[in-house]
Amino acid sequence: MSKNLLKASYGEIGKILTKKNIYRYAFNIGVASSLKLFKRLGGSAVLILFFGTMSYTLGIIAANARFLDDLSDIHYISVDAFKAYIRTAIYIKVLVKAVWGIYMLMSFLLIFPKKNFARQLFFGTLTMVSCGILLCSILIPMCFGLTYGGFGPVGFILQSLLACYFIFSAFRGSVISLKRDLYGASDASSAKGISLKVLCCILLSMVVVIMLNQYLFKIGHPLDSSVYSLIYGWGVLVWSIAVVIVIKMVFRQTVSTYYFAKYDEQFRESLHFSDEEWYGKRKARRLNKKENKRKRDSHE
């Protein structure tokens, strides 16, 4: 389908963006959609102090070459797997820092009031999206490093190819589904993908090849032939599943709340939002006082 996903008219987006859906999106992100200052302040504090600190530790502090100096305490994973984890963390340290900085900035700006409920909902959704991207970013060193260290380059490449397919399919499926709802029926060919039967065959073949290489051919290095590698060696696939979950959770909500903010006044009128729902209790009281004063002045 050729129509741009971000150029739908108010009439088109109005077909799928009901008041019930809007409040479901608000529920999904919790206090990030709240118009109350204290709720946003508490939510921002949790995002910054808890997840911000944890992600900085796992994604940035872990990218330190000094951890490679003493490997005597490595028991349950191979030394090669641990080295691959630390080196991957070092390689993407700049990327993780940039994503972490954006996340922290958005978590801080969440405190400040927005123009209305639509703008608050959209900004809160973007904040949660940045949280999801940061989570996927800090998982890269561990998942990729453990896969490379556990199964070597053969297992890593095969899993990476399948992970790319999973992520691409999830994104394409989300786009096609939303376009279908916005603009009508989509092209059947564009929605076609690998059938479940074929996908299962591909997965089984990949597992067989990895296992044969792990214990028989041993192509590439490092390879960890211990039983633990059969547990942590699937890190890239686990990471791809996490990315797919994030895409499925946030894609439709992000696009929908973007339109909600773009056509905010139209939605406010058509969906009959009260001043309290739209601006919050405090601003609604001020508007009510202004309106009552205006009415009294007009009668005098």
- Please, which contacts does 8-16 make with residues 24 or more away whose CB atoms are closer than 8 Å? 8/182, 8/183, 8/259, 10/259, 10/263, 10/266, 12/182, 12/183, 13/182, 13/256, 13/259, 13/263, 14/266, 14/267, 14/270, 15/181, 15/182, 16/181, 16/182, 16/256
**Average model confidence (pLDDT) across the chain:** 86
Q: What is the mean pLDDT of residues 93-98?
A: 93
Is 144's pLDDT higher than 80? yes
Q: Using one digit for the tens of pLDDT, what is the confidence trace for 199-249?
A: 888 888 988 988 888 777 777 765 556 677 778 889 999 999 999 999 999
Is 137's pLDDT higher than 60? yes
Cα atoms in the 13 Å half-sphere on the side-chain side of 115: 9
Q: What is the mean pLDDT of residues 174-194?
A: 74
Q: What is the mean pLDDT of residues 83-87?
A: 84
Is 186's pLDDT higher than 90? no
Is 2's pLDDT higher than 60? no
Under the banding of pLDDT at 50, 70 and 90, the label for residue 152 is confident
pLDDT at res. 29: 95
The pTM (predicted TM-score) of the whole model is: 0.87
Q: Using one digit for the tens of pLDDT, what is the confidence trace for 47-56?
A: 999 999 999 9
Burial 239-259 (b: 16+ CB within 10 A, else e): bbeebbebbeebbbbbbbbbb
Give the total residue count for the chain: 300
Is 258's pLDDT higher than 90? yes
Is 24's pLDDT higher than 90? yes
Is 5's pLDDT higher than 90? no
Phi first, then psi: what are they for 92, rounded to 5°?
Answer: -105, 15
pLDDT at res. 239: 96
Cα gap 12→242, rounded to integer Å: 31
pLDDT at res. 41: 95
Cα atoms in the 13 Å half-sphere on the side-chain side of 266: 13
Q: What is the mean pLDDT of residues 26-36?
A: 94
Is 68's pLDDT higher than 80? no
pLDDT at res. 1: 46
Is 63's pLDDT higher than 80? no
